[in-house]
Amino acid sequence: MDLFLQTLLNGLLIGGVIATFTVAFQLAFGVLHVIDFAVGGWVVLGGYLGYYITAWLGLDGFLAIPLAFVLFGALGYLIGPVLYNVRNSRTARPELMALALSFGLFTLLRGGMLTAWGFNTRNVTTALSGESLAIGPVTVPLIRVVAAVFAAAIAGGLFLFLYRTRYGLAIRATAENRHNAALMGVNIGRLSANVYGLYAGITAMAGVLMGAIYSVNPEVGLRYTLFAFFVAVLAGLGSVEGALVAALLLGVVEAFVSTYVGASYSLLAIFTTLFLVLLISPRGILRRGL
Amino acid sequence: MAPINRSFSRRRFLGSSAMAITAGALGMPFVRTARAQAATFKAGVITSLSGENILGGNLTKQGYDLWADVINAKGGVEVAGDRFKVEMFYGDDQSSPATGADAAERLIVQNGVDVLFGPYTSGSTIAVQPICQKYQVPMISGSAESPNVWKAKPEFNFGIIPAVDTTSGLSLGVLAKLSNPAAKTVAVVSVNEPFSKETGEGFRDGAKAAGLELATYELVPPEGDLTPVISKIAALDPDIVAVGGHEEVLINVVKTSKSLNYRPKALIMHYGITNPAFAQALGADADGTTGVVVWLPTVSYKDDLFGTAKDFAQMAQKKLGGEPDYTAAACAASGLVLGDALKRLGKKPALTQEDRVALKDAIAETDIQTFYGPIKFEKDGPHYHDNIQPVPVLVQIQGGKTVAVGPKEAAAADYIYPLPAWK
């Protein structure tokens, strides 16, 4: 029973961790209609920022979180219009061109980081690294709780922003029909840049947490891209709230299969879940995807 | 205008081609004469000089180069009373096995090397082996550690480092003997990728020989989260946790264990903990982690060229600016194997194809003592042509430094067992 409870907690927290970098990914897809392969690159960039904040300045890794938002949000704001223009260009299959562009961006980030910072694995230390709380028979890793709370806060914040502000209304309108939104006076180009900046900033913030929970090297980005994509498909592409539910589901599936069946079957179980959900509900787990 | 232009450039092309052919015909014998005057043995180094394995690739290159520098400073390899220098050629596998095979072929065909020094990764080594076989060029591999390299029964390839399944298996026996109170159970975790899995299988199979009960054997995907597996192991509470993986996974195992407030009595890993990045990333949490190496500067071996292991380490430190690890040592020892085989073969450069086959046979008969340890290649079995003579040395991170803790004759410090609870 103890192991069961621990496994359940592990699963929920893994879900929380995955959700940190998938919520904003969904927003970017909803507005830009691009599956951004570079998501793993933004995560790793955030992780490195966390590492340098702790290694060079001797500060707590958590302080890198707001800095990651400002720095990589600004970078994303500059890259956003390029992606938007490619996605809406008059070339044949602009969606594939945009996909190729984001893949190229990912490769560039990965190669650049490999050249600049080498391939050694780095760690982000925070006040809560390695700390845990014992609640009865269950051990709660505090840094993962921070990640789960962060994911929930980001999802909640985005929800309020999208449904309670005029700019959120403009974003939703653009996601639904960009031509109509443009006719209503929404500056689609600037909005896309803002959304991509917001997404890059949030994802890099999640990256600091990933560096604190796991570790960071230029090669791990692909893993985050894959998981973001799994969750996005399971959630229904573009569904922000679905991303939370899907991440938690995948986390719990992974934890139970790893503990009770064998860790080598965990990916198989994740793919089977993905397959079954797509079969039953192609628009994602909450049927709210595009 | 256009046709005139075209005929003009054709004429120029024909003219320059004729000049080039004439120059080639006149020049080639001259080049050959020049080569014959300064006869050298040509050795090709095929390793990762770019891409993700560049650090390891450079370690191998530095090891091979150290031997070439030292032997050339002495006038070269001694053959039938004369000395012949060694000329080094380099091929970059760009951290990809397929590129490694191409680069090896280029070294053999274009540079006409007599012998190859093998790649950093086992994957590239496996890819290069058929090329050695095709052109009948012997290769001495100072780095490959995967048992799969030797399972393929490579006729022309020889390995200096014992395959990882033998070292990881034997190391559990050494650890069990050092533990007090004696360890009884072990849980093995390994990442489901070639090198890590083989390490894990070595631990798994070595447990029985070490008199340990296997509590569980967990194979995790490289993308997987480790909390479920560590929680499961914590519930089983084995004395030893053995991990097969590269640095990133090793770091994550320590971090995840700490975040779940679980610490086994001993945590043993293989490759990776000797990389300074491991201790750097984990800080004080790295302390107590056990690792396995096949060579340390403190071992008691010696030879005529490099002197003692300590002498070698000092020389390497001076040339490379850092303490050499066992890969660099094994690569330098590869040169000793070549020098010994060439001496016994007694053939002067340049070697013919028959000479290279005879060289391969001479290498197979190697039985020497070096600063790196004894070198003798297996003649059959699953480790065909691998040197499984060296006994693994157990190291432990203590106060941020890697120190030898076992077996007793190699120990520089006491083994900390059981590990204290996390602070």
Measured between CA atoms, the residue of chain A closest to residue B197 is A264
Q: Is A123 on the interface with B (CB under 8 A)?
A: yes
Specify burial of residue B241 (Cβ count, 10 A radius: 0-12, 13-18, 19+): buried
- pLDDT over 80 at B35, yes or no: no
Predicted confidence at residue B34, as pLDDT, reads 43
Predicted confidence at residue B299, as pLDDT, reads 83
Both B183 and B269 in one domain: the answer is: yes
Which three-class secondary structure state does DSSP give residue A137? coil
Both B266 and B400 in one domain: the answer is: yes
Q: What is the pLDDT of residues B54-99, one digit of tens each?
A: 878 888 999 999 999 999 999 999 998 899 999 999 999 998 999 9
A252 DSSP β-pair partners: none
Q: pLDDT tens, position by position, for chain A (290 residues)?
A: 789 999 999 999 999 999 999 989 998 988 888 889 999 999 999 999 999 999 999 999 999 999 999 999 999 999 999 998 898 888 888 889 999 999 999 999 999 998 899 878 899 999 998 899 999 889 999 999 999 999 999 999 998 999 999 999 999 898 888 889 999 999 998 999 999 999 999 999 999 999 999 999 998 999 999 999 989 989 988 788 889 999 999 999 999 999 999 999 999 999 999 999 989 988 888 876 66
Q: What is the pLDDT of residues B120-145, one digit of tens each?
A: 999 999 999 999 999 999 999 999 98
CB within 8 Å of chain B, chain A residues 83-102 = none
For B220, the closest of A10, A120, A263 (CB atoms) is A263
Both B258 and B399 in one domain: the answer is: yes
What is the C-alpha separation between B242 and B264, in angstroms, rounded?
10
Q: Is A17 on the interface with B (CB under 8 A)?
A: yes
Which of the listed residues B376, B401, B418 is the one where a domain comes to its end? B376
pTM equals: 0.82
Both B51 and B187 in one domain: the answer is: no
- Give the CA count within 13 Å in the CB-facing half-sphere of A276: 9
Predicted confidence at residue B14, as pLDDT, reads 59
What is the C-alpha separation between B398 and B403, in angstroms, rounded?
7
Both B224 and B372 in one domain: the answer is: no
Predicted confidence at residue B7, as pLDDT, reads 47
Which three-class secondary structure state does DSSP give residue B99? helix
Determine the residue type at B194.
Answer: P
What CA–CA distances, in Å, run from A12 to A8, A162, A249? 6, 26, 8
- pLDDT over 50 at B27, yes or no: no
Both B402 and B281 in one domain: the answer is: yes
For B52, the closest of A139, A219, A264 (CB atoms) is A219
Predicted confidence at residue B203, as pLDDT, reads 95
Both B315 and B232 in one domain: the answer is: no
Mean pLDDT score, B44-63: 88
Q: What is the DSSP letter of B349?
A: S
Measured between CA atoms, the residue of chain B closest to residue A15 is B225
The CATH number of the domain holding residue B123 is: 3.40.50.2300
Q: Which band of pLDDT confidence, cut at 50, 70 and 90, is reported for residue B275? A: confident
The nearest CA of chain B is from the CA of A171 a distance in Å of 34
The verdict on a CB contact (< 8 Å) between B251 and A213 is no
Q: Is A126 on the interface with B (CB under 8 A)?
A: no
Kindly state whether residue B25 falls inside one of the protein's structural domains.
no
Kindly state whether residue B307 falls inside one of the protein's structural domains.
yes
Determine the residue type at B222.
Answer: P
Kindly state whether residue B422 falls inside one of the protein's structural domains.
no
Both B341 and B193 in one domain: the answer is: no
Kindly state whether residue B283 falls inside one of the protein's structural domains.
yes
Which three-class secondary structure state does DSSP give residue B141? strand
Number of structural domains (chain B) is 2
Both B289 and B175 in one domain: the answer is: yes
Predicted confidence at residue B13, as pLDDT, reads 57
Q: Which band of pLDDT confidence, cut at 50, 70 and 90, is reported for residue B22? A: low
Both B155 and B211 in one domain: the answer is: no
Kindly state whether residue B262 falls inside one of the protein's structural domains.
yes
Average pLDDT, chain B: 89
Kindly state whether residue B36 falls inside one of the protein's structural domains.
no
When mean pLDDT is compared across A282-286, B163-167, B378-382, B410-414, the lowest value belongs to A282-286
Kindly state whether residue B417 falls inside one of the protein's structural domains.
no
Both B100 and B155 in one domain: the answer is: yes
Predicted confidence at residue B3, as pLDDT, reads 44
Both B51 and B143 in one domain: the answer is: yes
Q: What is the DSSP letter of B286?
A: G
When mean pLDDT is compared across A177-186, A224-233, B159-168, B316-325, the lowest value belongs to B316-325
Kindly state whether residue B153 falls inside one of the protein's structural domains.
yes
pLDDT > 70: percent of chain B:
91
Domain hosting residue B406, numbered range? 165-293+392-410
For A258, the closest of B54, B228, B285 (CB atoms) is B228
Q: Is A264 on the interface with B (CB under 8 A)?
A: yes
Mean pLDDT score, B107-111: 95
